[in-house]
Amino acid sequence: MSYFNGTLVLLKEKKEPKSFMLDLNEKLKSIDVLLPKSDYEIIVFNDSRNEEEKDYIELDVSMTDEDVVDLVCSWKGLGTIGYRHPDFNFELGINYLTWDDQNIYGFKVFFARKDTMFEDNRHEKLISKISEFVDYECVVGDVNEESENYIQMEESLEEIKEHILKNSFEIDSRNW
């Protein structure tokens, strides 16, 4: 999975991972953002806060959405799931984020670079729709490594919020 153009969505309040992810996945279906389950789809796990690592897991067609969510929630660092949407040529990813290895505090939405080049800014429109499904504190992007406003998710949540306050972003809910 090679992603670019990451947009960070920080939640107003921490959430229990499984119920939050199941609820969000149901809402994502309503806008045709779907979990593809095939022999080449994988879940990539985040390192835990104490830098423990877990190998990726391959999905298969027999898995339900709940099975996929259970796999992500089985790891304290959570992780990234790939999704498909008919308006995009490539997979988009959602990386579910925790800063305490217990709760979800936000997520990062990624698109392939080629899928962010459309003149109609469809990736920004989809991010806006996704953000309507959650009670967010802020939505900011682009925050990936190649961005001038790169945010390292390994930093503390307080440091990330401080970084957001000091910078402006291409996508910024404070301007909506």
Stated pTM of the model = 0.92
CA-to-CA dists, residue 8 to 37, 57, 106, angstroms = 25, 24, 7
Q: What is the pLDDT of residue 3?
A: 47
**With a cut of 70, which residues of the chain have pLDDT below it?**
1-4, 39
User: What is the 3-class SS of the chain, one letter each residue?
Assistant: CCCEEEEEEEEEEEECHHHHHHHHHHHHHCCCCECCCCCCCEEEECCCCCCCCCCCEECCCCCCHHHHHHHHHCCCCCEEEEEECCCCCCCEEEEEECCCCCCEEEEEEEECHHHHCCCCCHHHHHHHHHHCCCCEEEEEECCCCCCCCCCCCCCCHHHHHHHHHHCCCCEEHHHC
- Distance between first and last Cα of the chain: 30
pLDDT at site 2? 41
Residue 4's pLDDT is 60
Cα 145 to chain centroid distance, Å, stands at 15
Asked if residues 115 and 123 have their Cβ atoms less than 8 Å apart, the reply is yes
Phi, psi at 55, each rounded to 5° = -70, 155
Q: Residue 115: phi, psi to the nearest 5?
A: -85, 0
Identify the pLDDT of residue 26. Answer: 97
Query: Please, what's the b/e burial string for 71-102 (b: 16 or more CB within 10 A of its CB; e: otherwise)?
Result: bbbebbbbbbbbbebeebebbbbbbbbbbeee
Per-residue confidence (pLDDT) for residue 116, from 0 to 100 = 77
pLDDT at 121: 84
